[in-house]
Chain A
């Protein structure tokens, strides 16, 4: 007659004032294999619960001293998060009374006279619920622990990354304004800025695929390449090639980094741009109010193998006060409560309605806020302005060697011929070489600027035969750089010779730089007659060379340029 199914043994508390009923229930439960506790009223029931922590409670509704409802409330309070099922024992039949049982915290009720089978079934069902609750709590705690662990990992990763990233000039340079969430890194957003030795500025705004640590981890090797090469004087193209190759090598196949990379030159008043996969950047010209869109024309970094990677950049002239804006797609994708996107059009409107260029950045920020969108971690924005070159002070490089042995009497000559000139930029190597001379280190900036200028002249005006007067207006500017690329790609004859001579002097030393090219030369006398402080887009940067170096002179009809640097021995 009995259908007792095998079940784990539970500790069950019976709270019932009728002695006979108590005895009956105890027997039924013991027979089913459970451990039984008894109480004759509510007070005893609560006490027994406190001491013994039963798994389940069978509670008579009507009891003297403290009734079942109050006892149930107290027991539920004591149990807290843990589920202790309470089954009310009742001969109450009115729905109101039964509802009372459930309101008081009862999970079920059992009618008198007691039916063994139903009782066993209810106990089983309650036990399932109890186990379910216990599992939920356990998993919740586990999730909370893992969550804390992940947050900690991110904190550590961020601390490491900040050490790598701080070598840049993002916060130090007066011409950069930026907006970025402190946790942007974990959305893959990366913002880097650094000075080159000649005082130009390289800026990178990147967006790695993915979220969390996988997105952030690619940022570190990329930053190392960016900062390392920029500091050594490598140009944008070489730095891009190296960054692409590195990411291609180390990232998994489906990961890459969209990037917009710039080189802003305060001396040459221009900006060089490479955009691979980022939203359009904007070059905002203050005088005309014109905006040039810097469109993505390349694949992101880390996709193409080095042989097919395109490092071709666009060059645009910039006047004093002009600015470049770069933004990540978090700006355009900011959505409001109705899931409408901020969009490129709204951004254009902000540009169009701006009257004071200085507040344009703030106006964009305000427009985003007003849009009422959800603040996102991946809204990154940067504004780079072209300021007077005198206002920009790159921090001097720190060297790690002891300075004991230093070459003081040597000379070296290089000849770079057509095939080399097409693909190779010798300037970083030449600068590295010269930095072995400790006395020259303090003049790294001017030294690099002069070398760059001499080499650029020799290559562009000498070997390639480009007409510098083309650069006098914006459209000419674009044509100039197009011609430069075309002629360089097809160059098959010509050379540039570089001679460096270092000799000691009384109390210091002297460096003589001589550069010769195979070009047509120019009218030296005419160029020399121009006033010294005339900085123009065209011209051969002759002014710069004469200002930064000593004894600058041209010979062989302008095909050979010579300039000197002096230094004094430090005490």
Chain B
């Protein structure tokens, strides 16, 4: 489960709920995510980092980005006890995971409604 970048079932369900609004949802999520990544980088202390990671985890979960959600969860739980180096490592992983799933979401935008 942790290795799944994008859960197909979740995406299908989302499309069914959103119908014509599906692309809008994807766009909103991508814009939101960019913002959250910036937030993570700018976090001044452990508490802010934890809250930001927690929020992002929730969003990713809803959108089916399971691996990204998992990474955010790790960051949330270990932030207090980790060294700056470990935190930096996690942040890099998060960035690269997002880089992977971004084109996948953009591809989703093109998907015609008929396909389920």
Interface residue ranges, A against B (CB under 8 Å): 1-2, 17-21, 23-24, 27-28, 31, 62, 91, 112-114, 116
B28–A20 touching, CB < 8 Å = yes
14 pairs, CB–CB < 8 Å, chain A vs chain B: A1-B16, A18-B32, A18-B58, A19-B29, A19-B32, A21-B58, A23-B24, A24-B14, A24-B62, A31-B17, A112-B58, A113-B58, A113-B62, A113-B64
Which residues of B does A touch, CB under 8 Å?
Answer: 10, 13-14, 16-19, 21, 24-25, 28-29, 31-32, 51, 54-55, 57-59, 61-64
Known pairs A27-B25, A62-B54, A113-B10; A20 contacts B17 (CB<8 A): no
Residues of B within 8 A of A20 (CB): 25, 28-29, 32, 59, 62-63
> With A23-B25, A23-B28, A116-B13 in contact, do A18 and B18 touch (Cβ < 8 Å)?
no
A-B Cβ contacts below 8 A, count: 57
Q: Is the CB of A112 within 8 A of B16?
A: no
Please give, as numbers and ranges, the residues of chain B lying within 8 Å of A112 by CB-CB distance. 58, 61-62
When the two chains form their complex, are residues A91 and B25 in contact, meaning their CB atoms are under 8 A apart? no
Q: Is the CB of B29 within 8 A of A17?
A: no
Q: Say yes or no: B17 contacts A21, CB within 8 Å.
A: no
Contact B61 A23 (CB under 8 A): no
A18 partner residues in chain B, CB cutoff 8 A: 32, 55, 58-59
- From known contacts A23-B21, A62-B51, infer whether A91 and B32 are also in contact, taking CB-CB under 8 Å: no
Besides A27-B21, A27-B25, 10 more A-B contacts (Cβ < 8 Å) are A18-B59, A19-B28, A19-B29, A19-B31, A20-B63, A21-B58, A24-B18, A62-B51, A91-B61, A112-B62
From B36, which residue of chain A is reached at the shortest CB distance? A18
Whether the pair A116, B57 counts as a contact (CB closer than 8 A) is no
A113 to B9, CA, bound (A): 13
Tell me if B62 and A116 are in contact (CB < 8 A): no
Query: Which residues on the B side are within 8 Å of A24 (C-beta)?
Result: 14, 17-18, 25, 62
Report which residue of B19, B51, B58, B64 has the largest number of chain A beta carbons within 10 angstroms of its beta carbon.
B58
Q: Give bound CA distance, A114 to B32, whole Å.
A: 18
Main SS of chain B's interface residues? helix
Is the beta-carbon distance between B24 and A62 smaller than 8 angstroms? no
What is the minimal beta-carbon distance from B47 to any residue of chain A, in angstroms? 12
Contacting residues, chain A, for B14 (C-beta < 8 A): 24
A110 to chain B minimum Cβ distance, whole angstroms, is: 11
Contacts of B25 on A, CB cut-off 8 Å? 20, 23-24, 27
Whole-angstrom distance from the CB of B114 to the nearest CB of chain A?
Answer: 16
- In the docked arrangement, what's the CA distance between A20 and B21, Å? 11
CB-based contact A116/B17 at 8 Å: yes
- Within the complex, the shortest CB–CB distance from A109 to chain B, in Å, comes to 13
Residue contact A21 to B51, C-beta cutoff 8 Å: no
- Among A2, A27, A31, chain B packs the most CB atoms within 10 A around the CB of A27
**List of A residues within 8 angstroms of B19 by Cβ:** 27
A387 CB to closest chain B CB (Å) equals 91
* A18-B32, A19-B32, A20-B32 given; A1·B62 CB < 8 A: no
Query: Given A31-B17, A62-B54: A21 and B24 within 8 A (CB)?
Result: no
Chain A residues with Cβ under 8 A from B31's Cβ? 19
The distance in angstroms between the C-alpha atoms of A19 and B62, with both chains bound, is 12
Complex CA distance for A27 and B31, rounded to whole angstroms: 19
- The CA of A31 and the CA of B25, in the complex, are separated in Å by 15
CB-CB under 8 A from B64, the residues of chain A are 113
Specify the chain B residue showing the minimal Cβ separation from A32: B17
State in angstroms the CA–CA spacing of A17 and B54 once bound together.
Answer: 12
**Neighbouring B residues of A91 by C-beta, 8 Å:** 54, 57-58, 61
Q: In the A-B complex, list the 8 residue pairs whose CB atoms are closest, starting with the nearest.
A: A20-B29, A113-B61, A91-B58, A112-B58, A113-B62, A20-B28, A18-B59, A19-B32
A27 and B62 contacting across the interface, CB-CB below 8 Å: no
Take A62-B54, A91-B54 as given contacts and tell me if A27 and B18 are in contact as well, using a CB distance cutoff of 8 Å.
yes
A25 CB, min distance to chain B CBs, angstroms: 9
Residue from B17, B51, B58, B59 within 8 A of A28 (CB atoms) = B17
Complex Cα distance, B2 from A246, in Å, reads 93
Contacts of A113 in B (CB 8 A): 10, 58, 61-62, 64
Closest A residue to B24 using CB positions = A23
Docked CA distance A23–B28 (Å):
8
Question: Once bound together, how far apart are the Cα atoms of A113 and B58, in whole Å?
Answer: 7
A28 to B25: give the CA distance in the assembly, Å: 12
Alpha-carbon separation in the docked complex, A506 to B59 (Å): 121
| Distance of B27 from chain A, by nearest CB (Å) | 9
Task: For B63, list chain A residues within 8 Å (CB).
Answer: 20
A112 to B14, alpha carbons, bound, how many Å? 14
Tell me the complex Cα distance, A49–B61, Å.
28
What is the bound-complex CA distance between A116 and B18, given in angstroms? Answer: 12
- Interfacial chain B residues near A28, Cβ < 8 Å: 17
Chain B nearest CB, measured from A288 CB (Å): 94
Q: How many whole Å from A283's CB to the nearest CB in chain B? A: 89
- Please measure, in the bound complex, the distance between the C-alpha atom of A1 and the C-alpha atom of B16, giving whole angstroms: 9
CA A261 to CA B62, docked complex, whole Å: 86
A62 and B50 CA atoms in complex are apart in Å by 11
How many angstroms from the CA of A540 to the CA of B13 in the assembled complex?
Answer: 114
Taking CB atoms, residues of chain B closer than 8 Å to A27 are 17-19, 21, 25
Looking across the interface, which residue of chain B has its beta carbon closest to that of A89?
Answer: B58
**Minimum CB distance partner of A16 in chain B:** B58
Give Cα distance in the complex from A114 to B64, angstroms: 11
- Residues in A whose Cβ lies below 8 Å from that of B24: 23
Interface centre among A2, A17, A18, A116 (most CB of B within 10 A): A18
Inter-chain contacts of B16 with A (CB < 8 A): 1-2
Chain A residues near B54: list those with CB within 8 A.
62, 91
Interchain CA distance A18-B62 in the complex, whole Å: 11
Q: In the docked arrangement, what's the CA distance between A503 and B28, Å?
A: 120
Pick from B13, B32, B61: contact of A1, CB under 8 Å:
B13
CA distance A19 to B32 in the complex (A): 7
CB of A3 to closest CB in B, whole Å:
13
Name the B residues within 8 Å of A114 (CB-CB).
Answer: 62
Interface centre among A20, A28, A114 (most CB of B within 10 A): A20
